[in-house]
Amino acid sequence: MSMRVNMHYADLKDSYLFSSIAHKVSAYQQTHPDADIIRLGIGDVTLPLVPAVVEEMGRAVGEMGRKESFHGYGPEQGYDFLRQAIQGYYGSRQIRLDMDEIFVGDGAKSDLGNILDLFDQENRVLVPDPVYPVYVDTNVMAGRSVAFMNATEDNGFLPLPEPGLKADLIYLCSPNNPTGAVYTREGLKAWVDFALNQGALILFDAAYEAFISDPLLPRSIYEIEGARGCAIEFSSFSKTAGFTGVRCGYTVVPHELVFDGISLNKMWLRRQTTKFNGVSYVVQRAAAAVFTQRGQQEIASSLAYYRENAKTIAQALEKMGIDYTGGKNSPYIWMKCPNGMTSWDFFDHLLSQAHVVGTPGAGFGANGEGFFRLTAFGDQAKTRQAVARLQALLSER
């Protein structure tokens, strides 16, 4: 018998979303070379790293070039200086974490995929629809089937546990990609209570927490009583501080998480020390600079820049009477396609008539059909221009 492959890969749905978008945009550009296309579809940031980060990164590069300050392999779970800074960041919001509950990694995506090493095949996985596709695909690769919970207009795209629901692993993403919806404390408490009751584990993706400006909305699941006993939190410097190309994130695994008599914190430490060799010293120094007073001030101005874009888009939709969620405590705006159009019909319409690119909601799950995602991560002047074009196009209705 020859080598066998992981046949579960055959169960993955091809992800045509971003390649289809790129293909359609480049085809349009070829036939309309003068069209000035504005992209409000990307989930990537556009502002550069802030000066405090760049300076610290440069200083760390210098250290690496001198024998007396060179760093080789570091601790797999992250240097103490960064874990302490993350601990302080949570502490400033009255969340107490032990240092060894914080694991530094190369971004939330890797950790969200890798965490599945810890769980048995038979677990029942519950994922919102629509949602960031990584949760579904990583489980399918591991041979697990996934059940969906509906995120729709009726529940404000924030599903809650329903009577009779059974689940072992529950993914929550707040602020949500793609809907921009943000759970209230009451909403998260309902999930925490459910998980504690059922002996389930919540995998909480807080990659966009920095966009929450409403002090009443929770930025971490650990703001909810009992969450230390039922939740792992994933976070990232990607959107908070423009680290999408630098790569750094962190995962919190509280000591209270004990299942089958085994500590998930110990398991994750074992997993990371076996399969991961840590984030580079230079990147961790850069990440630590984000938490300095100067770093916090500088990233606040980048976040304000993106928030202004979100406001520009949201206000225009409001004026036009188009339903949407997000845009307030989130970089994503999730709008209802006008005139009952499908997501892809609206994509084509917007591209050909306004030269604006967004992301069709159908690419994030069945419930995304009929919706469209716009992002606040673009250039401010271009975002205003795109919104003006959108208004001109839709006022022709």
Q: Which residues of this protein are in contact with ligand PLP, per CB under 6 A? A: 43, 107-109, 132, 173, 177, 205, 207, 236, 238, 244, 249
Tell me whether residue 212 or residue 394 sits nearer to ligand PLP (CB atom): 212
- Measured from the CB atom, the residue of 83 and 355 that comes closer to ligand PLP is 83
Nearest residue to ligand PLP, scored by beta-carbon proximity:
107
Q: Which is nearer to ligand PLP, 211 or 394 (CB)?
A: 211
Compute the distance between CA of residue 267 and CA of residue 117 in angstroms, rounded to an integer: 9
Give Rg (Cα) of the chain.
22
Q: For residue 3, how many other CB atoms are within 10 A of its CB?
A: 4
Q: Tell me the closest approach of the beta carbon of residue 172 to ligand PLP, in angstroms.
A: 10
Tokens of 237: 């410097």
Beta partners for 72?
Answer: none
Nearer to ligand PLP, 132 or 346 (CB): 132
Q: Considering the complex, what minimum distance in angstroms separates the CB of residue 274 from ligand PLP?
A: 21
Give min distance, CB of 232 to ligand PLP, in A: 13
> DSSP class of residue 217?
S
Q: With beta carbons less than 8 A apart as the criterion, state whether 50 and 298 touch.
A: yes
C-beta of 57: minimal distance to ligand PLP in Å? 17
Q: How far is the CB of 208 from ligand PLP (least distance, A)?
A: 7
Inter-residue contact 242 to 48 (CB < 8 Å): yes
Q: Are 249 and 106 in contact (CB under 8 A)?
A: yes
- Of 236 and 272, nearer to ligand PLP (C-beta) is 236
Cis peptide upstream of residue 48 (ω within 30 degrees of 0) = no
Question: Which of 316, 329 has the CB closer to ligand PLP?
Answer: 329
Work out how close the CB of 397 gets to ligand PLP at its nearest, in angstroms, rounded to a whole number. 31
Type and span of the H or E element at 170? strand 169-173
